[in-house]
Amino acid sequence: MRISGFIAALPTLVAGFLLSLLLCGPSAAAEGKLAQISLQKVFNQSAKVKAIVEEIKKIQNDATAKMNTLAAEVSNAEQQLKEGQEKLGKEDKEKAEAELKKKKEDLRTEQETAKIKVGFKQKSAQNVVNSQIKEALEKIAQEEGYTVVLQSDAIVFSKDVPDLTEKVAKALDALPLPEGLLKP
């Protein structure tokens, strides 16, 4: 699962922070208490994120199984129509063609429904996880007195900068999920 919205905004936030350091001078940087976090590691360590990913995979697998069944029905109907082309009367041929058309429409509908369902579940989960990560991170940063928390991937060099990744992953897992998020 890609949580790209939150991650995509981080370079802008980091650039803004670095620009403010340049504009305010080194004394402002010295007053701040810095920490770092790896969001990718939070996602990888979080049992909550793993459960959400598994739920989305289940939805995808169920939809794929249903689409495979429908695709097989379409294929069988095409084969039967092809084989019976000469044997079928006009009325039976039209009926078989109508059934084939309906099966193809059912398959397309199922594909579209699955795409929408998975997309909605991913977006909902992404919004919840992003919000809860932010909530957990802000709480930990405030409790421990950090004024700035940077994405560790954006840090070129750091010495003795505390890493809040594990604490945030644990805090994220402790927060409740909205009801229904892990139900298809």
The whole-number pLDDT of residue 93 equals: 84
Total-model pTM: 0.70
In a domain, 136, yes or no: yes
* Bridge partners, 151 (sequence order): 37
In a domain, 20, yes or no: yes
Of 78-87, 113-122, 148-157, the range with the lowest mean pLDDT is: 78-87
Q: Are 36 and 162 in contact (CB under 8 A)?
A: yes
The whole-number pLDDT of residue 8 equals: 52
Helix, strand, or coil here: 62?
Answer: helix
What total number of domains does the chain contain? 1
In a domain, 133, yes or no: yes
In a domain, 30, yes or no: yes
In a domain, 180, yes or no: no
In a domain, 144, yes or no: yes
Q: Which whole number is the average pLDDT over 127-156?
A: 93
Helix, strand, or coil here: 88?
Answer: coil
The whole-number pLDDT of residue 9 equals: 52
In a domain, 149, yes or no: yes
Which residue segment(s) compose the domain that 87 sits in? 4-174
In a domain, 109, yes or no: yes
**CATH value at residue 42:** 3.30.910.20
> What is the pLDDT confidence band of residue 38, given thresholds at 50, 70 and 90?
very high
> What is the pLDDT confidence band of residue 12, given thresholds at 50, 70 and 90?
low
